[in-house]
Structure 1
Amino acid sequence: MMSNPVEPTKIDDAGSNSNVENPTPAVSAINRRWKREDLLNKGSLFLRGLAFFFSLLSFIIMASNKHGGWKNFDRYSEYRYLLAIAALSVLYTGGQAWRQVLSIWKNNNILEQRISAMLDFFGDQMVAYLLISSTSAAIPLTNNMREGQDNIFTDASASALSMSFFAFLSLALSAMVSGYKLSTQSYI
């Protein structure tokens, strides 16, 4: 009787290759953390970009709101305050967005991570407060003017106010993201 040839045995090489399909819990946690940090960085960059855009629109609209006589923005201190804060917001959000783009692009921070997180958090809060302060200071004046006469000056003022409010919303959300990043930062 003839015997069957010996079938080759299957070599178990599980020890030599890592199981990519089912990573260990530690690797999985690290991947989740990296994804969350990447999402937070890109999200805060997006929110600062929006704040920059809305602040720039508010600044441009208010600076060009000169229509002669009483229809010049610079005759009213509330509108001058709105313009100054919009300019400050453009500088701050533009600088922060540029710093974040460089940080993502070059994969290193310009500032130390703790200092950067604190600057983001406190800077976003201060500029957001200034934006809502200037907006709320100019709203009553615009409403009073709109009751008397609705014209291109009051429409432009209302547009600048709404853009300033949208910039505030963007920076307020960015401050929340910055606060989360600051509270979850490890100090080791």
Structure 2
Amino acid sequence: MAMVPADAGAKPPPDLEKPDHSTQNGAPNSAAAAVAGGGGGGRGSGGGVVDSVVARWRREDMLDKSPLALHAAAAAFAFVALVLVASNQHGGWMEFDRYQEYRYLLAITALAFAYSLAQALRHALRMRRGVDPVPAASGRLLDFASDQVVAYLLMSALSAATPITNRMRSAVINRFTDTTAAAISMAFFAFVALALSAMVSGYKLSKQTYM
């Protein structure tokens, strides 16, 4: 009679059993899912950071270019106002130099034109060559203060010239009064451009660090 080995019915040791790869061949296990989830979240947050950085760069680029555009616009509007006032001479009472309000408007528009043109040239040189004739810290303070002063003077000239022009236009409308009204409108647009430039300069000044 054949002898049956004693260990024939014994189970194989646990370390020899076939490992279960169902979690590897099928759905990923919890650790892999956590890694995958973490990687996806990292990519999402990284995209948000990149978007915020790009938006910040665009905002800073716009703020860097805006002084040139605003001063150039102010110079153009002030020049048109200056020409309109200076050429408004049609004889008799229709001479601009007979009225101190219009002489004041002429002087202030000339000042605004000269100042805005100088500032536009300065910012164009800075953007083209990367060199500002005025140091950065002093330049921001200069922009903020001088923009406000010239804008205030323009508003003062507008306040002086508008009432007398309204009285004239209530009595008669002709080339003289139309030209004066157009000059006042151009001076007002120059004021708006300088006021916006002052706001941009004030924002830059508030963000300036002294360390």
Tell me the SS of whatever aligns to 1:70: coil
Q: Distance in 1 between matches of 2:136 and 2:52?
A: 21
CA distance in 1, matches of 2:196, 2:53: 26
Q: Residues 86-105 of structure 1: matches in 2 within 5 Å?
A: 86-105=109-128
Determine the C-alpha separation between the residues in 2 that align with 1:54 and 1:179: 23
**Distance in 1 (alpha carbons) for counterparts of 2:48 and 2:97:** 64
* Aligned CA-pair RMSD: 1.9
Alignment pair present for 1:126 and 2:121: no
Corresponding letter in the other structure for 2:191: F
Larger radius of gyration: 2
What per-residue deviation string (whole Å, max 9, x for no partner) do you get for residues 50-100 of structure 1?
111100000000000000111000000000000000000001000000000
Alignment partners' CA distance in 2, 1:89 and 1:114 = 23
Matched to 1:179, the amino acid is G
Matched, 1:139 2:162: yes
Write the letter of the residue equivalent to 1:89. Answer: A
Unaligned runs of 5+ in 1: 1-21
Cα separation, 2, equivalents of 1:162 and 1:101: 27
Letter in 2 for 1:113: A
For the pair 1:74 / 2:97, whether they are aligned, the reply is yes
- The corresponding residue for 1:44 is 67
In structure 2, C-alpha distance between the alignment counterparts of 1:111 and 1:37, rounded to whole Å: 20
Change (3 A) 1:187 1:33: farther
SS in 1 for 2:93: helix
Identity value in percent? 51
* Counterpart code for 1:129: Y
Distance 2:190 2:84 in 1: 14
Matched residue, 2:6? none
Which residue matches 1:153? 176
* 1:83-140 CA-partner distances (Å, limit 9, x unpaired): 0000000010000000000000001211111110011000100000000110111000
Residues 186/28 of structure 1: CA separation in 2 closer, same or farther (3 Å cut): farther
TM-score normalised over the length of structure 1: 0.83
Where does structure 1 differ by over 3 angstroms across 4 or more consecutive aligned residues?
Answer: 22-25, 27-35
Q: How many residues align?
A: 167
1:73 alignment partner AA: F
Q: Deviations over 1:153-186 (max 9, x none)?
A: 0000000000001110111111101100111111
Pairwise CA distance, 1:36: 2.7
Q: Which residue of 1 aligns with 2:200?
A: 177
- CA distance in structure 1 between the partners assigned to 2:142 and 2:51 by the alignment: 31
State the match for 1:6 in structure 2: none
2:134 corresponds to 1:111 = yes
Determine the C-alpha separation between the residues in 1 that align with 2:210 and 2:53.
17
SS at match of 1:69: coil
